[in-house]
């Protein structure tokens, strides 16, 4: 392939400017009806066809083979020269980014005075990156536009029209403004399909979708990226070739990260990210990749559709639908958006990416309201366990100032006060409450049974809304059970121990719903191996435990409302 695709397939006629047809049609009509303006302003993101449209306009105004529909012929000497952007008597292209001074403006003014080369010709100035022009340059231009010479047309192209509005507001009233559409992935895919068909190259749909995503709204980039893939060798364009050429991460890697998050495997984040780093991935791409997949998962959870998803990913996200709650996905996307501007500039992208995933994995999940209400509603007075771990006065939840929202909810939903027997006999539905033991006969506690039912214990605690305690328990292991019913729990780390200690009474109560015989809960810290793990979870649990020790009322509020300490 001798000619780059982006160049080879750059439109030569208004009709070819497919995505911006609203602008192309208007411009062509202006020529047909002889209503060409003196100045145009084309606004739009990069790669949307601003310069291309300006050149087609210049070609149409100066084509040697004038047709009735005023489409440029694309083959005459004038068309060829303008299309290629090479020197032409009638068309001057100026890159404002490199022509900013007063002299240039003066030069521009002088040059504008020169008439077009022939009576039926137009002099067209195409000024790219127009927002970079200085105030002085704009002032010079304004003078020209106030008394425009005949058959002189200015086309300003910019990605940042608001800067022009700031620097040269009066100019805006003298230009005809067109806002070019952002090119969507579907547009890019359509265009790539057409181009590749003309080149007799087949491409996998997933490969096209990836190219379209990577192009990020720029048709020029899409074609250049396709060139890049083709430069790796002849043949069809496969998803794998696109990944290789563009250094993209396989979609399944994102699914794996998603599973880390939903399974709350915060500890596995570091290895997973480290492995990706070994591949030499671009963390900025990784960040937008994870954003894309969270966004897609959110859309699927909400029952919406995501047009640019491969069938494989769509099916996989569908499988995970019931495991995510839209509120959690929204919070993750918010965290991600907050991080993004800082991320681009950071020299610590891997660290930031890891930390973000750990936060996602440890994010306190939105608690099912009914579960919480069940956990507290039926018999608030029994909340304070009779276990030896109790170390504070029972707090009256009904009079607590923090309580009203929930109290209202209780009043609105009397069914939460239904007897516990109506709840299916799943462990998570059970409520730690001495006075209301489940009817099911319980087995005497021993270390093996405790180990076997550890996850149930975590679930019960989580279902009651004590997420910090549940997370600490999930990271802990049962260490010993004595004949007298003392249960020793080994916390995963020193920082997690206080969370379990302060929640000992709840653990005890939960244990009593599962087993016969628990009398007291003691906490130890697991061996050196786990020490020093400074995760967000540990820090949060630590801070929560400290605060709660110092403020019994806060303790009550945290439990009643599932308050999460905000960092
Ligand atoms: Zn022509």
User: Which of the four pLDDT bands, split at 50, 70 and 90, describes residue 307?
Assistant: confident
Any bridge partners for residue 524, and if so which?
490
Instruction: State the virtual CA torsion across 456, 509, 447, 497 in degrees, nearest 10.
Output: 90
- Among 39-43, 181-185, 191-195, where is mean pLDDT lowest? 181-185
Instruction: Give the phi and the psi of residue 156 in degrees, each rounded to 5.
Output: -95, 130
Q: Ligand 1 mean position to 78 CA, how many Å? A: 6
Give 75 Cα–ligand 1 centroid separation in angstroms: 5
Query: Please, are residues 247 and 240 in contact by the beta-carbon 8 Å criterion?
Result: no
Q: 26, 178 in Cβ contact below 8 A? A: yes
Contact 197, 226 (CB under 8 A): no
Domains observed in the chain:
5-179 (3.40.50.300), 185-246 (1.10.8.60), 251-362 (1.20.272.10), 376-561 (no CATH)
Separation CA 408–CA 248 (nearest Å): 51
Q: How remote is the CA of residue 113 from the centroid of ligand 1, in Å? A: 25
Among the ranges given (103-117, 277-291, 319-333), the one the predictor scored with the smallest mean pLDDT: 103-117
Ligand 1 centroid, distance to 317 Cα (angstroms) = 52
Distance from the alpha carbon of residue 61 to the mean position of ligand 1, in angstroms: 9
Residue 246, Ramachandran bin (φ over 0: left; ψ between -120 and 50: alpha; else beta): alpha
Å from CA of 89 to ligand 1 middle:
15
Going from the Cα of 200 to the center of ligand 1, the distance in angstroms, rounded, reads 28
Q: What is the C-alpha to C-alpha distance for residues 467 and 517, in angstroms, rounded to an integer?
A: 25
516-566 pLDDT tens trace: 889 889 888 876 333 334 445 555 555 555 555 545 444 544 454 444 444
Q: Please tell me the predicted confidence (pLDDT) of residue 278.
A: 87
* Structure confidence at residue 251 (pLDDT): 85
For ligand 1, the distance from its centroid to the CA atom of residue 120, given in whole angstroms, is: 13
Q: Which residue has the higher pLDDT, 470 or 393?
A: 470
- Centre of ligand 1 from the C-alpha of residue 85, in Å: 14
pLDDT of residue 506: 86
Tens digit of each residue's pLDDT (9 = 90 or more) over 449-460: 898 889 888 888
Q: Tell me the three state secondary structure of residue 37.
A: coil
Distance CA 514, CA 442 (A): 6
- Looking at residue 524, what is its pLDDT? 86
**How far, in Å, CA of 297 to CA of 303, rounded?**
10
Contact 266, 232 (CB under 8 A): no
- Taking the centre of ligand 1 as the mean of its atom positions, its distance from the CA of residue 28, in whole angstroms, is 14
Instruction: Give the list of residues 6+ apart from residue 474 with CB closer than 8 angstroms, or none.
Output: 264, 458
> Which stretches of 199-325 are DSSP H helices?
205-215, 219-230, 239-246, 251-262, 269-278, 283-301, 311-319
DSSP annotation of 322: G
Mean pLDDT, to the nearest integer, of 112-137?
A: 82
Q: How far apart are CA 519 and CA 512, in angstroms?
A: 9
Is residue 70 pLDDT above 50, yes or no?
yes
Q: How confident is the model at residue 374 (pLDDT cuts 50, 70, 90)?
A: low
Using the mean position of ligand 1's atoms as its centre, give its distance from the Cα of residue 57 in Å: 11
pLDDT at 44: 94
**CA–CA separation, 294 vs 292, rounded Å?**
6
Mean pLDDT of 484-506: 85
User: What average pLDDT does the structure give for the chain?
Assistant: 78
0.75 exceeded by the pTM?
no
CA of 91 to the centre of ligand 1 (A): 14
Kindly state the average pLDDT of the residues 99-119.
63
Using the predicted structure, report yes or no on whether residue 178 has a pLDDT greater than 60. Answer: yes
């Amino acid at each position: 392939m001798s000619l780059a695709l982006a160049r080879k397939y750059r439109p030569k006629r208004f009709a070819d400017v497919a995505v911006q047809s609203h602008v192309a049609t208007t411009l062509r009509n202006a020529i047909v009806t002889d209503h060409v303006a003196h100045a145009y302003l084309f606004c739009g993101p990069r790669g949307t066809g601003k310069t291309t449209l300006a050149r087609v306009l210049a070609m149409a105004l100066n084509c040697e083979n004038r047709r009735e529909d005023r489409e440029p012929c694309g083959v005459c000497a004038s068309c060829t020269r303008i299309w290629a952007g090479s020197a032409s008597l009638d068309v001057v292209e100026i890159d404002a980014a490199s022509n900013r001074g007063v002299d240039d403006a003066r030069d521009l003014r002088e040059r504008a005075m020169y008439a077009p080369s022939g009576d039926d010709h137009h002099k067209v100035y195409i000024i790219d990156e127009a927002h970079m022009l200085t105030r002085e340059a704009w002032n010079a231009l304004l003078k020209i536009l106030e008394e425009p010479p005949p058959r002189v047309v200015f086309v300003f192209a910019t990605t940042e029209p608001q800067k022009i509005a700031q620097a040269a507001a009066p100019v805006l009233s003298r230009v005809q403004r067109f806002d070019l559409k952002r090119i969507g992935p579907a547009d890019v895919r359509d265009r790539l399909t057409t181009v590749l068909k003309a080149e007799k190259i087949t491409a996998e749909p997933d490969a096209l979708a990836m190219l379209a995503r990577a192009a990020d709204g720029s048709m020029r980039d899409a074609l250049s990226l396709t060139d890049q893939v083709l430069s790796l060798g002849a043949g069809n364009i496969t998803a794998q070739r696109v990944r290789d050429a563009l250094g993209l991460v396989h979609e399944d890697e994102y699914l794996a990260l998603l599973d880390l998050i939903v399974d709350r495997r915060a500890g596995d984040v570091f290895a997973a990210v480290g492995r990706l780093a070994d591949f030499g991935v671009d963390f900025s791409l990784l960040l937008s990749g994870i954003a894309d997949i969270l966004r897609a998962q959110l859309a699927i959870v909400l029952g919406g559709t995501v047009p640019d998803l491969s069938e494989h990913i769509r099916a996989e996200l569908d499988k995970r639908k019931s495991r995510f709650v839209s509120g959690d996905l929204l919070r993750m996307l918010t965290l991600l958006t907050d991080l993004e501007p800082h991320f681009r500039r950071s020299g610590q992208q891997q660290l930031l990416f890891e930390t973000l995933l750990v936060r996602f994995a440890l994010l306190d999940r939105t608690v099912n309201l009914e579960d919480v209400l069940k956990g507290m509603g039926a018999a608030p007075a029994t909340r304070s366990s009779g276990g030896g771990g109790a170390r504070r006065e029972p707090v009256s939840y009904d009079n607590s100032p923090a309580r009203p929202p929930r109290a209202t909810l209780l009043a609105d939903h009397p069914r939460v006060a239904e007897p516990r027997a109506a709840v299916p006999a799943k462990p998570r539905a059970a409520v730690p409450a001495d006075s209301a033991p489940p009817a099911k006969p319980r087995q005497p506690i021993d270390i093996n049974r405790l180990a076997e039912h550890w996850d149930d214990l975590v679930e019960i605690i989580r279902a009651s809304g004590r997420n910090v305690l549940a997370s600490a328990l999930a990271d802990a292991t049962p260490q010993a059970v004595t004949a007298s019913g003392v249960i020793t729990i080994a916390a995963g780390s020193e920082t997690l121990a206080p969370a379990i200690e302060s929640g000992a009474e709840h653990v005890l109560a939960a244990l009593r719903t599962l087993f016969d015989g628990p009398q007291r809960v003691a906490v130890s810290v697991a061996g050196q191996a786990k020490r020093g793990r400074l995760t967000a979870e540990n820090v949060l649990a630590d801070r929560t435990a400290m605060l709660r020790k110092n403020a019994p009322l806060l303790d009550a509020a945290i439990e009643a409302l599932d308050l999460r300490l905000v960092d």
